[in-house]
Amino acid sequence: MSLILAIPTWLRVLTGAIITACIALIANAQTGENMIERLEARAQKAIAAHGGTGITADFTTTNGWPTRHPVLRGGEDLPDDVRARVARAVADLPGVGGAHWDRRSRSMAMPEPVIEAGPYHCQRDVETLLAVRVIRFGQSSAEIDPASEVLLDEVAGALKPCRGSIIAITGHSDAVGDASVNLRLSRERAAAVRSALVQRGLPRDSLRAAGVGSAQPIEGLEPEDPANRRIEFSVIEVAPLKPTPIDIPDAG
């Protein structure tokens, strides 16, 4: 009997599954690294073109994940107007979702986007949370990665001041693979986030989950770019709940 035949079938299947998963993880990491390299090259050209000597753009989170929202560092001796121009130039690059200065760097804030959200800045608060972190899911799955549970806690906390408002949760995908599969997965992921927020005390009736697949890529990106895989939040209507003697989220 050959060695291959001596190996139990279940063990061969398990080994094959592990190898396939490892290959997928490596391919995903390489795709992220390629995206980061492209964005970093564009950013450095923009920085140089605007006189940002000594300024760097870091496109990775503190945990090493790739991000479209770089942290700008250096250039503390440059005039404020130069630093502002550099920050805006980087933020306006195709594929970049925004940029902010490192807290240890001399403060020179970029102009803040105007969010019409009354006294409740829920949408801006959530966008700030998602500026450097991403809600992650299992490979080709709507199961939320356990590493994103803390981020979801923070998102729920940011949205609670707007309880009673209509909050849209939209799932997006890139254009790689079958369009119908991508559409279904984007819907399932948005629904998973909605359920996670309901578990954290937000009323189900105020949350609208939808998926659009690859129909709405980020402006300036190719539809196949993996950065298009994302969850977005929009506060459609600001109408905070009136205080009541008994306020039980999702009651009934």
φ, ψ of residue 165 in degrees (nearest 5): -85, 165
Beta sheet of 230-237, edge-to-edge order? 207-211, 166-172, 230-237
What is the model's pLDDT at position 92? 80
What is the model's pLDDT at position 85? 85
Residues 6+ apart with CB under 8 A from 242: 164
What is the model's pLDDT at position 143? 92
Domain 122-237 sits in CATH at 3.30.1330.60
- Of 234, 185, 231, 230, nearest to 207 by C-alpha is 234
What is the model's pLDDT at position 193? 94
What is the model's pLDDT at position 187? 95
What is the model's pLDDT at position 70? 82
pTM of the predicted structure, to 2 decimals? 0.51
Q: What is the amino acid identity at position 142?
A: A
> Which mean pLDDT values do the consecutive 10-residue runs of the chain (252 residues) have?
54 58 48 71 91 88 73 85 84 75 56 40 77 82 90 88 84 91 94 94 91 89 86 73 40 34
Separation between Cα atoms, residue 169 and residue 186, nearest integer Å: 11
